[in-house]
C-alpha cells in the first residue's frame, strides 16, 4: 500500500479525493497496490465539507504529514507561493515524492525543486499545473522526446479566453463580460493574475523549460494582458480576417528563446481560433512530428484532478516497484531570452486622428523613415472631427514600431493611439 498526504481539500483536492475513492479498484489494478489517503491538511478543520470521510484524517499541522514515515507521497493542492513551496521542499528533503498542480511554485522554483528531487531519488510530477486536464507536460517529456521543438503556442488561461470569446460572439465590452465571468465563477474575485497574463506566463515558462531543456527566468518573459482590448478592436480584427486571443508563445531562435504572453491577432482559419470559452489548447511544432494540437478543459475540479491522479499513480507505481527516478531531463542548455524589442511581428495599430487632409501621409512618412511597411490601411469616414485610422504592418522589429509610435504621438493631428496588437502568423 502507498500512503498519501494530501495538502488541500478545496476545488482540486476534493476532486482528487473523489477520483481516488470512485476508481479505487481500477487504480489498484493499474498501480499494483492500494492507494490510501492517510492525512489531509486543511486550513480550517471545522469547515463543512461535502465529502464522506473520517474526521481523524484531517489536520492543520503539516508536521503530522512531513514527519510521518509511513507517508510516501505528498500531494500539494493548497496553491500560492508560501507555505506551499516550503512544504514541497520539506517533503522532498524527507524523501517523499511530490505531486503538485502549483504553477506559481513550479515556474519560480523549477530548477531547485527538480534538482532536489533528483538528489533525493524521488519524483516530482506537476501535470496539473499547466492546462488542467490536457496532457502536455508528460507528452513534452516523453511522447515528443525524439523531436526538437521549434515553436509552441498556447491558449492557457480559460478566464481570458472566455472573456475574449464573449466579446467576439456577443459584441460586448470587456468590463461587462468580466463582471459576468466573475458571477459565473469563471473569473476570481481578484482576476488580476488571469487578466494581466501572469497566469499564462507561469504556464508558458514551465512548458518552455521542458521543451527547450533550459531554465527560464520568469522576469525575462514579456507579459501583456487583455485589459486594453476594446470591442472596437475585436470588430476590426473580424473585418481583417482575424480573431483576438491571449497567446502564450515560445519559439526557438538561433540567438535565443522568444517567450512571451500577449493578446494577438490570429487568422480566423487557424485551429486555435476555434478554441473558445474556458477551453485551453496547445499547438506545437516538432521537427519530426510536425504540427500537433491538444484541446480540452484547462481548469476545473475534475479535469485538473484527472491530471493530478494520473501523476499520483505514476509516482505510486515507481515507489511500489522501487524504481528510481529516471527523469534525466536537466536544464542542459543556457538559452538567453530574446528581448521583445528584437522580436519581429506584423502589427495592428488603431489611432484617433483629426479629420484633415494629409494626416495619413504624415503617419506613413514616419513609418517609411523607420523601415515599417504597411500591409493595409482602413480609414473610416465618420461625421465627426475625429476619425479612426487602422493600419496593419508587414513583419518588422518591435523597436522600429516603438520608434515610429514615439514620433507619431508627437504629430499635432494625432489625438491618441488607441491600441497596438501583434499579428501572429502561426
Ligand atoms: N481550481 C482549478 O481549476 C485549478 C486548475 C489548475 C491548477 N490549480 C491549482 O491547484 C491548486 C489548488 O487550487 P484549488 O482551486 O483547489 O484551491 P482552493 O479551492 O482554494 O483550495 C485550497 C485548499 O487548500 C487549503 N489551504 C489553503 N491554504 C492553506 C494553508 N496555509 N495551510 C493548510 N491548508 C491550506 C484550504 O483549506 P480549507 O478548505 O480549510 O480552506 C483548501 O482546502 C493551486 O495551486 C491551483 O493553482 C487549480
CB neighbours of residue 105 within 10 Å: 25
Residue 17 has pLDDT above 90, yes or no: yes
Dmax (CA) for the chain in angstroms is: 80
Residue nearest to atom 18 of ligand 1 (CA): 10
Backbone angles phi, psi at 393, to 5 degrees: -95, 165
Q: What is the mean pLDDT of residues 332-341?
A: 89
Which atom of ligand 1 is the closest one to the Cα of 13? 16
Q: What is the mean pLDDT of residues 235-244?
A: 97
- The whole-chain average pLDDT of the chain stands at 95
Pocket around ligand 1 at a 6 A CB cut-off: 8-13, 41-44, 47, 77-79, 83, 101-103, 128, 132, 299-300, 304
Residue 338 has pLDDT above 90, yes or no: yes
The pLDDT of residue 384 is 84
- What is the bridge-based pairing of β-strands 71-76 and 344-354? unpaired
Q: Do domains 137-297 and 343-423 have the same CATH topology?
A: no
**Residue labelled with grid coordinates 501535470:** 127
d(CA 305, ligand 1 centre) in Å: 12
* Residue 203 annotated among the catalytic residues of the structure: yes
Residue 325: pLDDT band (50, 70, 90) is low
Residue 328 has pLDDT above 60, yes or no: no
Q: Report the alpha-carbon distance of residue 71 to residue 37 in Å, rounded.
A: 9
- 383: three-class secondary structure by DSSP: coil
Q: Report the alpha-carbon distance of residue 216 to residue 108 in Å, rounded.
A: 9
Instruction: Print the SS3 string covering 51-110.
Output: CCCCHHHEECCCHHHHCCCCEEEEEECCCCCCCHHHHHHHHHHCCCEEEECCHHHHHHHH
Residue 317: pLDDT band (50, 70, 90) is very high
Residue 335: pLDDT band (50, 70, 90) is confident
Structural domain boundaries in the chain: 2-130+301-320, 137-297, 343-423
Query: How do residues 376-424 score in pLDDT, each as one tens digit?
Result: 999 877 778 999 999 999 999 999 999 999 999 999 999 999 999 999 9
d(CA 11, ligand 1 centre) in Å: 7
Residue 329 has pLDDT above 70, yes or no: no
- 391: three-class secondary structure by DSSP: strand
Q: Report the alpha-carbon distance of residue 329 to residue 152 in Å, rounded.
A: 19
The pLDDT of residue 186 is 83
The pLDDT of residue 326 is 56
Which segments are annotated as binding site for NADPH?
A: 103
Cβ-based neighbours of 202, under 8 Å, separated by 6 or more: 103, 104, 106, 107, 108, 129, 218
The pLDDT of residue 333 is 80
User: What is the per-residue DSSP string for 120-176?
Assistant: HT--EE-GGGTTTTS--HHIIIIITTTS-EEEEEEE--HHHHHHHHHHHHH---HHH
Residue 123: pLDDT band (50, 70, 90) is very high
The dotted CATH code for 137-297 is 3.30.360.10
The pLDDT of residue 185 is 84
d(CA 251, ligand 1 centre) in Å: 32
Which segments are annotated as binding site for NADP(+)?
A: 7-14
d(CA 77, ligand 1 centre) in Å: 5
**Residue labelled with grid coordinates 476590426:** 236
Side-chain-facing half-sphere of 341: CA atoms under 13 Å: 5
The pLDDT of residue 124 is 95
User: What is the per-residue DSSP string for 179-217?
Assistant: HHHHHTTSS-SS-HHHHTSHHHHHHHHHHHHHHTTB---
In terms of Cα–Cα distance, which of 13, 12, 99, 97 is closest to 53? Answer: 13
The pLDDT of residue 393 is 98
Residue 116 has pLDDT above 90, yes or no: yes
Q: What is the mean pLDDT of residues 12-36?
A: 98
Query: How do residues 359-375 score in pLDDT, each as one tens digit?
Result: 999 999 999 999 999 99
Which segments are annotated as binding site for L-homoserine?
A: 188
The residue to mutate among 46, 75, 79, 132, having the most atoms of ligand 1 within 8 angstroms of its beta carbon, is 79
**In contact, 159 and 186? CB cutoff 8 Å:** yes
Which atom of ligand 1 is the closest one to the Cα of 132? 6
| CATH superfamily to which 2-130+301-320 belongs | NAD(P)-binding Rossmann-like Domain (3.40.50.720)
Peptide bond into 83 cis (omega under 30): yes
pLDDT above 90 covers a percentage of the chain that reads 91
Residue 324 has pLDDT above 90, yes or no: no
Which segments are annotated as binding site?
A: 7-14, 103, 188
Cβ-based neighbours of 172, under 8 Å, separated by 6 or more: 166, 231
d(CA 373, ligand 1 centre) in Å: 49
pLDDT above 70 covers a percentage of the chain that reads 98
Q: What is the mean pLDDT of residues 155-167?
A: 97
Q: What is the mean pLDDT of residues 123-147?
A: 96
Which atom of ligand 1 is the closest one to the Cα of 45? 40
Residue nearest to atom 46 of ligand 1 (CA): 79
Query: How do residues 2-16 score in pLDDT, each as one tens digit?
Result: 999 999 999 999 999
In terms of Cα–Cα distance, which of 224, 226, 258 is closest to 243? Answer: 226
The pLDDT of residue 359 is 94
Evaluated on CA atoms 135, 140, 142, 144, the torsion sign reads positive
Q: What is the mean pLDDT of residues 325-345?
A: 80
- Select which of 166, 203, 251, 403 is catalytic: 203
Which pairs with CB-CB distance under 8 Å and at least 24 residues apart come from 44-50?
49/9, 49/14, 50/14
The pLDDT of residue 274 is 98
Class of domain 343-423: alpha beta
The residue to mutate among 6, 7, 9, 12, having the most atoms of ligand 1 within 8 angstroms of its beta carbon, is 12
Cβ-based neighbours of 92, under 8 Å, separated by 6 or more: 98, 113, 116, 117, 120, 122, 124
Residue 327 has pLDDT above 90, yes or no: no
Q: What is the mean pLDDT of residues 312-316?
A: 97
The residue to mutate among 40, 43, 201, having the most atoms of ligand 1 within 8 angstroms of its beta carbon, is 43
Backbone angles phi, psi at 352, to 5 degrees: -110, 125
Amino acid at each position: 500500500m502507498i500512503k498519501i498526504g494530501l495538502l488541500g481539500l478545496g476545488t482540486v483536492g476534493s476532486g482528487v479525493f473523489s477520483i481516488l475513492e470512485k476508481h479505487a479498484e481500477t487504480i489498484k489494478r493499474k498501480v499494483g497496490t492500494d492507494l490510501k489517503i492517510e492525512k489531509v491538511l486543511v486550513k480550517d478543520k471545522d469547515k463543512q465539507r461535502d465529502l464522506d470521510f473520517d474526521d481523524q484524517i484531517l489536520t492543520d499541522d503539516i508536521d503530522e504529514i512531513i514527519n510521518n514515515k509511513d507517508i510516501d507521497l505528498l500531494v500539494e493542492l493548497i496553491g500560492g507561493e508560501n507555505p506551499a513551496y516550503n512544504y514541497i521542499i520539506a517533503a522532498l528533503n524527507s524523501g517523499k515524492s511530490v505531486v503538485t498542480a502549483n504553477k506559481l511554485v513550479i515556474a519560480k522554483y523549477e530548477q531547485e525543486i527538480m534538482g532536489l528531487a533528483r538528489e533525493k531519488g524521488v519524483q516530482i510530477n506537476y501535470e496539473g499545473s499547466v492546462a488542467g486536464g490536457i496532457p502536455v507536460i508528460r507528452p513534452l517529456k516523453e511522447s515528443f522526446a525524439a523531436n526538437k521543438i521549434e515553436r509552441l503556442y498556447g491558449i492557457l488561461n480559460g478566464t481570458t479566453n472566455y472573456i475574449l470569446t464573449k466579446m467576439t460572439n456577443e459584441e460586448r465590452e470587456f468590463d461587462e463580460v468580466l463582471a459576468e465571468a466573475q458571477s459565473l465563477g469563471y473569473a476570481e474575485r481578484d482576476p488580476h493574475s488571469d487578466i494581466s497574463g501572469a497566469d499564462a506566463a507561469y504556464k508558458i515558462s514551465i512548458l518552455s523549460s521542458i521543451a527547450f531543456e533550459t531554465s527560464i527566468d520568469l522576469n525575462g518573459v514579456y507579459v501583456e494582458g487583455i485589459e486594453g482590448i476594446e470591442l472596437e478592436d475585436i470588430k476590426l480584427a473580424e473585418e481583417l480576417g482575424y480573431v483576438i486571443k491571449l497567446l502564450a508563445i515560445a519559439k526557438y531562435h538561433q540567438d535565443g528563446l522568444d517567450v512571451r504572453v500577449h493578446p494577438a491577432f490570429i487568422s480566423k482559419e487557424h485551429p486555435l481560433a476555434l478554441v473558445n470559452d474556458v477551453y485551453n489548447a496547445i499547438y506545437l511544432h516538432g521537427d519530426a512530428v510536425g504540427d500537433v494540437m491538444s484541446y480540452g478543459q484547462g481548469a476545473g475540479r475534475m479535469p485538473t484532478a484527472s491530471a493530478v491522479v494520473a501523476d499520483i499513480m505514476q509516482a505510486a507505481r515507481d515507489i511500489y516497484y522501487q524504481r528510481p527516478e529516471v527523469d534525466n531531463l536537466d536544464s542542459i542548455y543556457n538559452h538567453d531570452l530574446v528581448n521583445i524589442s528584437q522580436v519581429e511581428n506584423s502589427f495592428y495599430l488603431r489611432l484617433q486622428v483629426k479629420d484633415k487632409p494629409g494626416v495619413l501621409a504624415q503617419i506613413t512618412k514616419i513609418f517609411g523613415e523607420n523601415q515599417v511597411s504597411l500591409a493595409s490601411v482602413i480609414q473610416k469616414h465618420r461625421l465627426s472631427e475625429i476619425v479612426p485610422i487602422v493600419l496593419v504592418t508587414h513583419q518588422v522589429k518591435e523597436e522600429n514600431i516603438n520608434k515610429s509610435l514615439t514620433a507619431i504621438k508627437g504629430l499635432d493631428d494625432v489625438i491618441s493611439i488607441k491600441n497596438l496588437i501583434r499579428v501572429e502568423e502561426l
